[in-house]
A = this chain, B = another copy of it.
């Protein structure tokens, strides 16, 4: 069996929680670049590289990977502590597709050769991955995807388009879901490919989003030739692999962090607008605060399940639903209380924490990505409440 020697020689998973937490804090204090704390938007690799490399050097880039693959081998409980501390410190989200999705996928479904080739390059930061799922006509309905790979001898020729590919402009490899068989049901005949983005025929076009930022891209494939060794998992069985990729991420999407930070900023805004003694502002603020506190209670409930080693059920969707809409409601309150400042393109007086319009816009996609909230409610109704049809 293929193995990678972990850089972090200590088995941190065996440490007591408090000691581990304090170790993480020290690590952040000494390694995290202060200028990157609480970034206003998703950073590009060129911006967060110092942090990426620091983690890679310490062997901390892949906390969830087993130690035999060079990870920290942390349990869910320990990973939660890590996330809490990262969030508290205001750490930028990395170009983390390789760490959180591609690595675990290769560990589970990849060939030894694929593991040998790819895993070390994720650990070193040499490969930055993107994930090619969505297409213009396959958004919520991923099974409708049309980007296809046609066999040509031992190779495949890929043609089609992906969209909403996060930070594809930073990536040098992309994980692709493509159609390899058009005869069956929509969910069938999909396969997974690992594709070098420097191959001829690939074009990346950044999409400017509502924040006027190029976080997403369209990626076009015009007869891109890849070898069959770039295919991962069983042929035509890609749907099952892709569907199960989002494991730990499902609780992460419901983390109270965004709402908590936004509420802090609503408070700052209230102070700036001289509303701290205003009964209506206080009531509004308190309601949102109580929503946040109760969300934290519910989050803990699911985190406890993880800590006990249980698998999370579909009901974890509740966190994502409530968190994203709470976050949005907090920013809507900002808009209501910010007066004319609500319309400004840039932060008020250059203070990044006072940017009601920016926060309002930044909160919009949280109810769209990771499965729209409409889809999440369908899931709750069908998979949790067992409602018919």
Query: Which B residues lie within 8 Å of A278 (CB)?
Result: 279
**Which partner residue on chain B sits nearest A278 by CB separation?**
B279
Judge if A283 is at the interface, Cβ distance under 8 Å.
Answer: yes
How many copies the complex holds: the figure is 2
Report B-chain residues with C-beta under 8 Å of the C-beta of A279. Answer: 278-280
> In the bound complex, what is the Cα–Cα distance between A280 and B278 (angstroms)?
10
A283's closest neighbor in chain B, by CB? B280
Which residues of chain B have C-beta atoms less than 8 A from A280's C-beta? 279-280, 283
Interface of A is mostly: helix
Residues of A260-306 contacting chain B, CB below 8 A: 278-280, 283
Number of A residues contacting the other chain (C-beta, 8 Å)? 4
Cα A231 to Cα B283 in complex, Å, equals 61
A336–chain B nearest beta-carbon distance, Å:
12
How far does the alpha carbon of A279 sit from the alpha carbon of B280 in the complex, in Å? 6
Residues of B within 8 A of A283 (CB): 280, 283
A280 CA / B283 CA spacing, docked (Å): 7
Chain B, Cβ-Cβ closest to A281:
B279
- Bound complex: CA A283 to CA B280 (Å): 7
Report Cα–Cα, A278/B282, bound state, in Å: 13
Q: How far is the CA of A122 from the CA of B279 in the complex (A)?
A: 57
A283 CA / B83 CA spacing, docked (Å)? 40
In the bound complex, CA of A279 to CA of B283 (Å): 10
A146-186 at interface with B (beta carbon < 8 Å):
none
How far apart are the CA atoms of A279 and B277 in the complex, in Å?
A: 11
Q: Which residue of B lies closest to A280 (CB)?
A: B283
Least CB distance, A286 to chain B, in whole angstroms: 10
Residue-wise interface mask of A (9-35) relative to B, using a CB-CB cutoff of 8 A (1 in contact, 0 not)? 000000000000000000000000000
CA distance A278 to B279 in the complex (A): 8
CB distance from A338 to the nearest CB of B (A): 18
Complex Cα distance A278/B283, Å? 12
Question: How far apart are the CA atoms of A280 and B279 in the complex, in Å?
Answer: 6
Mark A337-381 against chain B: 1 for CB-CB distance below 8 A, else 0.
000000000000000000000000000000000000000000000
Query: Nearest Cβ distance between residue A312 and chain B, in whole angstroms?
Result: 32
A283 to B287, CA, bound (A): 15
Q: Give CA–CA (A280, B280) in the complex, Å.
A: 6
Beta-carbon nearest neighbor of A279 in chain B: B279
A280 to B286, alpha carbons, bound, how many Å?
12
Q: How far is the CA of A69 from the CA of B121 in the complex (A)?
A: 92
Whole-angstrom distance between the Cβ of A233 and the nearest chain B Cβ: 36
Report how far A283 CA is from B283 CA in the complex, Å: 11
Closest A-B pairs by Cβ, 6 of them: A279-B279, A280-B283, A279-B280, A280-B280, A278-B279, A283-B283
Q: List 6 A-B contacts (CB under 8 A).
A: A278-B279, A279-B279, A279-B280, A280-B280, A280-B283, A283-B283
